[in-house]
Chain A
Amino acid sequence: MTAARRKIFRVSLVGLWLLAAACAEAGPRLYVSNEFVDTVTVIDLQTEERVATIDVGDRPRGIKASPDRRHVYVALGEDDAIGVIEVASNKALENIPAGEDPEVFDISPDGRFLYVSNEEVNTASLIDIAERKVVKSVRVGVEPEGVAVSPDGKWVYVSSETSHTISVIDAASFKVVATVLVGDRPRAIAFSPDGTRAYVTAEVGGNVSILDAKAHKVLETISVLRGEEKEKPMGVAVTPDGSKLYVSTGRGNTVAVIDAKTHNVLRYIPVGKRAWGIAITPDGKRVFTANGVSANVSVIDTETDKVVSTLPAGKGAWGVAIVW
């Protein structure tokens, strides 16, 4: 190695160290996409204070952190792009083209690919993050919405609202290998940590379908409706031990807690208005819901299943992503 190369190497190492230190210093953060005001709110989870509001582009909705926690990606429906936020600086970087009207996406476990639903054109797209372009697209159902990758990275599930289906995509070939009928107007999808089950919320059906994620078959459908039938299941998060599901109910203004073994609804937790996106911390202690109408985030303690605080967000709070 020449002296010049050694110097570059040392500088690079220092740069990486500084970046890692910045992430570590920042501590855990919550990123909230605000659909109506085109921003992402950043909240420090230790102080529970807003530390930044980032302008990201038009109609931000689906939001996820990269596996290496260096970036947060956010779907920008009206910009036909995925926005990229650098965690260390909380700055928006250059967008990645994502096909027409991206709404929700997931990230491959190795962090190399984004799987995106393109609502207006009824496709799902595969984006190579390094190449910053759509490398494959496949036709799914009408109004594709939720996207989730199985923990082993083999399957991509895409829900289609108007068709009431889950398109099962083989991640390797990016071809649809099965189409499964679920509840009316399916929205979000979450896999169990062991990858044996997938849970699909249905907004109009008022239920959650439980799928065998190996055979791609519906095993059972759980209704979350009660009384006046106001619940509209939207987001779903599974605890790290796989024992419970937390389902946001939209205009039901609650989170339904479901026992993953018995499939019984254990309780309903009142949260903010129009609870939509939902996420759970890796230690399983806290659940966050983005509340669109009340423009805030409810924080649920999973031990007591009670809201322990409410954090500020923007108008039309839609999705939440945790950088841990």
Chain B
Amino acid sequence: MSMHRRRFLGTLLQAAGVAVFPSVWRGRAMAAEELAVGALVGPGGAGQFAVAAAELAAEEANFVAEAFGKVIRLLPEKAASTDDAARKAMKLIRQGGAKAILGGGDDLLTWAIQEACTREGIIFLNTTSRSEALRGATCRRLTFHVEASLAMYTDAMGQWLIRHAKQPRWAFLTLDSEAGAAMERLAKRALRQHGGTAVAREVVPAGNSDYRAALVTLAKAGPDVVIMNLAGPSLLQALAQVTELGLSVQVAGSMMEAVEFWQAEPTRLTGVWPSLWSYEFRKYSGRELNKRLAARLGHPAASHAWASYTAMKAVWEAVLRGGRDDTAGLVSYFEKGRGVDAHKGQPLTFRPWDHQLRQPLMVVRSQVPAADAKRWDIFELLGEVPLRGTPGENRAAVLDTLGLSAAESTCRFGSL
């Protein structure tokens, strides 16, 4: 047999070995095939943390990826606007060869990335937007949501406040906007589900930054909690006024963003908030992950960082366990309910009806950092939701107590 022929047969056998035993690597590393993944984020500080967290996940995957014939190349990009996001997504796919994109920004920017990915036929993992529309009327088959939905956050708040903290009497401070109304609608849904009562409601015009009169009126109604149907600067402004007025009433809401809170004066923050992740979380190797993320980010990890890390890990695990990196293969892997290991103590799966990642959420309380504590230490981890003992025939059923059910969902997926 000639040298050439032996080499050819050797290559063939090696290839056959790889095909038959993809889960075992022996001896010398085989030639690695590149897997490009885009990390596309919007403007703002959270995006920088999100990219760093995705880079950590990619590096960790590459610890063993070569042993399985792959190497991950993360392609970070930042988008300044929705148009820019669409352009950058196309660039990542067409020029970078991205097989998946993770990231997002505000709801609109996230939608723009989703649409670009759908047009180009690759999967998108949303790590930032809680929008129910993206999971409903404008849902796409190629989009998978690692960030929790607004309904999940609201249900987590409901379970915690009513079932755990025994605070069933709610008052609502609602911004007169589509977003404020959506928050209130979901909060009332949670209230009904857990047997609470609405005792007062104040609507404040959009653009108004003085919530004091409304807050005093709501506090006088004697609720257990004032639910803030506000977000971003409006929410921070309202919280500052709660502390300024010295109101002792408990406040809560579904739209806390840790990165925004970190930028505010900690003495002007208060409230109980559902959160995707906590830098204080220690269970299920959360302690170890938090240490690694903090070392990489130069800052404790907030929800967006965890979501980016998890999205990157989900793509890698789908390729590793599913054996395919094409769109159909990845979609099939996730739609079959294969679990993602995300440091939350159980394999997390995407809901078939809206591609939302089922997952426990955490509940944190705003606190003023102790004199000797770090500036960022403004949250105390209170617990996890669903609460222990929540009925359900299996883990998925228990997790489905957070978020819209299949019957409530308006998402209708098309074919691939």
Q: Is the CB of A228 within 8 A of B392?
A: yes
Q: How far is A184 from B314 in the complex, measured between Cα atoms in Å?
A: 12
Which among B27, B63, B68, B345 is the interface contact of A204 at CB below 8 angstroms? B345
In the complex formed, the residue of B with least CB distance to A119 is B288
CA–CA, A165 to B67, complex, Å?
10
- A141–B24 CB distance below 8 A: no
Q: Would you give the shortest CB distance from A70 to chain B, in whole angstroms?
A: 33
- Residues in A whose Cβ lies below 8 Å from that of B392: 228
Whether A142 lies near B60 (C-beta < 8 A) is yes
Chain B 21-36, CB-CB to A under 8 Å as 1, else 0, gives 1011111000000000
> Within A233-282, which residues are at the interface with B (CB < 8 Å)?
none
* A71 located at the interface, meaning its Cβ lies under 8 Å from any Cβ of chain B in the complex: no
Contact residue range for chain B? 20 to 34
* A185 part of interface (Cβ distance < 8 Å): yes
CB A219 to nearest CB in B, in angstroms, measures 11
Closest Cβ neighbor of B396 among chain A residues: A229
Contact check, B320 vs A216: say whether CB atoms are below 8 A apart: no
B263 sits at the interface (CB 8 A): no
Does B296 make an interface contact (CB < 8 A)? no
B24 close to A181 (CB less than 8 A): yes
B21 near A204 (CB under 8 angstroms)?
A: no
Interface residues on A, range: 20 to 34
Tally A-B pairs: CB < 8 A: 80
Interface of A is mostly: loop
1/0 per residue, CB under 8 A from A, across B330-371: the answer is 000000000101000111000000000000000000000000
Q: A165-B64, A204-B346 are in contact. Are A181 and B23 (CB under 8 A)?
A: yes
Contact present for B27 and A181 (CB under 8 Å): no
A177 at the B interface (CB under 8 A): yes
A205 at the binding interface (Cβ < 8 Å) = yes
Inter-chain CA distance A206–B61, complex, in Å, is 22
Contact present for A184 and B347 (CB under 8 Å): yes
**Alpha-carbon distance A160/B339, docked complex (angstroms):** 18
Given contacts A119-B288, A143-B285, whether A181 and B320 have CB atoms under 8 Å apart is yes
User: Bound state CA distance, A120 and B285, in angstroms?
Assistant: 11
Q: Which of A161, A204, A216, A218 contacts B347 (CB 8 A)?
A: A204
Task: Give complex CA distance A33, B345 in Å.
Answer: 23
B285 and A185: CB pair below 8 A? yes
Tell which of A143, A178, A229 touches B24, judged by Cβ atoms closer than 8 Å. A178
A2 vs chain B, min Cβ distance (A): 56
CB within 8 Å for A122 and B320 given contacts A161-B285, A184-B341, A204-B341: no
Interface centre among A163, A164, A180, by most chain B C-beta atoms within 10 angstroms, is: A163
B63 touches A139 (CB 8 A): yes
Chain B positions near chain A (C-beta within 8 angstroms): 21, 23-27, 60-61, 63-64, 67-68, 284-285, 288-289, 291-292, 313, 317, 320-321, 339, 341, 345-347, 392-395, 398
Between-chain CB contacts (< 8 Å), 24 pairs: A119-B288, A141-B64, A142-B60, A142-B63, A143-B285, A160-B63, A162-B285, A163-B61, A164-B317, A177-B27, A179-B24, A179-B25, A180-B23, A180-B24, A181-B24, A181-B321, A185-B285, A204-B339, A204-B341, A205-B339, A205-B347, A206-B347, A227-B393, A227-B394
Q: A-B pairs with the 3 shortest C-beta distances?
A: A179-B67, A181-B23, A142-B60
Residues of chain A having any CB pair with chain B under 8 Å? 119-120, 122, 139, 141-143, 160-165, 177-181, 184-185, 204-206, 216-218, 227-229, 232
